[in-house]
Amino acid sequence: MLSRKATCKSHGEDSSYFLGWQEYEKNPHDPVRNPSGIIQLGLAENQLSFDLLESWIAKNQEPIGFMKKGGSIFRELALFQDYRGLPAFKKELSEYMAAIRQDKVRFDPNNIVLTAGSTSANEALMFCLAEAGEAFLVPTPYYPGFDRDLKWRTGVEIVPIQSSSVNNFRIIPSALEEAYQHAQKLHLKVKGLFITNPSNPLGTTLSSHELDHLINFAIDKNIHIVSDEIYSGTVFDSPRFISIMEALKKKNLENTTIWSRVHIVSSLSKDFGLPGFRIGMIYSNSETLIAAATKMSSFGLVSSQSQFLLSRILGDKKFTRKYIMENRKRLKSRRKMLVSGLQKYGIRCLENNAGLFCWIDMRCLLSSYTFEAEMELWRRIIFKYGLNISPGSSFHCPEPGWFRICFSNMSEETLDLAVRRIKALVDSSAPNAC
């Protein structure tokens, strides 16, 4: 017999977001071995600049062999390390975070908690900030994995902040208040706001006005803000990215109580394209939270070997500057390729300036304006046209007909094939549907 936690259905793996992955894994596309297989457009993974990292590795063999100044440090790395992390790595990570944010804000390495990916960071924050049965307000649409990361083991509830395509899914003050009042009606104590900036799935950055609304709201309600900024290094076009910390400084709030109630989640998985290394982190100005989250991090540590190698990569400032600039260029070019291809066939994409994906409008292909019709279309796309794209309902989008397409986890040839398959889908629909 297993525990209720082990057997409960709240993990979220029955979401169409994850079911699409399962179908892909049964029949993955390969240009040679399985050209008619399903193309994975549901994976937000950055493979566009991997050659830059591989080139650095080829030229810097010493850290790969766990060597330092000609001597081996294998024994040092293999033996027990303080779970607070290697100081050298945290220093380089803090400087990289500042560089991504154009040095508008600085980060204290002592305020960083290392975690095994951002999933662990998000869950640890929920354990630290809320009791089971308390709630966080989350703007829609949001990443389907949050139903697992924030809720599954913690018992924390998510109350959605509704949005609309009328204003391109922007956050407005009235929606914040409506979500808060809805939580009150459900007898849920609201502990904070959980935002994703840049947004997954929208690929947009929050404006200074939106950040001001969020900060003012958190001050008024005396609640926390968690800002998931794992896509901050993927901003490839204007407007520029504004971190929640920069917004706080601009309002001169460093010496107020809100300063210690704002927390950042980041990682090296998206911008640096290293999800397999499981490098996540929490940043906070609250000493109490940092102490608690550090204790919790012992359940999901980052290996010393990973920290050592990445401290050397991030410490090469000439390389990281080149990587940041070139990666942005490649993301912008790849996004343009997808958007221009879809536009030819009448499929509109939300204007975005960040991320590894586009939020596309396929309402013209729905048989009716319902979520049932969206799921019907999603099944056609997967099983008839061999494309795993993620339906908006899995992201809790309040409107049917929106889908997320990822563009940075495949070759140009595969993306071109995916666009041609979408053309076939459009051509098979009602005349002039799009």
Annotated catalytic residues are: 143, 228, 230, 270
Long-range residue pairs from 292-298, CB within 8 A, at least 24 positions apart, any chain: 292/128, 293/113, 293/124, 293/125, 293/128, 294/83, 294/84, 294/113, 296/124, 296/127, 296/128, 297/83, 297/113, 297/114, 297/115, 297/120, 297/124, 298/83
Checking DSSP bridges between strand 135-139 and strand 157-161, what pairing results, if any?
parallel
Sign of CA dihedral 157, 163, 169, 174: negative
The answer to whether residues 385 and 72 touch, using CB atoms and an 8 Å cutoff, is no
Answer for the pair 162, 399: CB distance below 8 angstroms, yes or no: no
> How far is the first Cα of the chain from the last one, in angstroms, to the nearest whole number?
53
Structure tokens belonging to residue 331: 């993301």
Question: Could you give the count of Cα atoms lying within 13 Å of 9 in the half-sphere of its Cβ?
Answer: 2
137: β partners: 159, 193
Nearest residue to 392 (alpha-carbon basis) of 403, 382, 380 = 403
Taking each helix axis as running N to C, give the angle between helix 317-343 and helix 304-315, from 0 to 180 degrees, rounded to the nearest 10. Answer: 90
Cα separation, 131 vs 217, whole angstroms: 21
Distance between CA atoms of residues 344 and 419, nearest Å: 10
Q: Which residues, in sequence order, are bridge partners of residue 211?
A: none
β-pairing, 348-349 vs 357-361, is: antiparallel
What 3-state DSSP class applies to 151?
Answer: coil
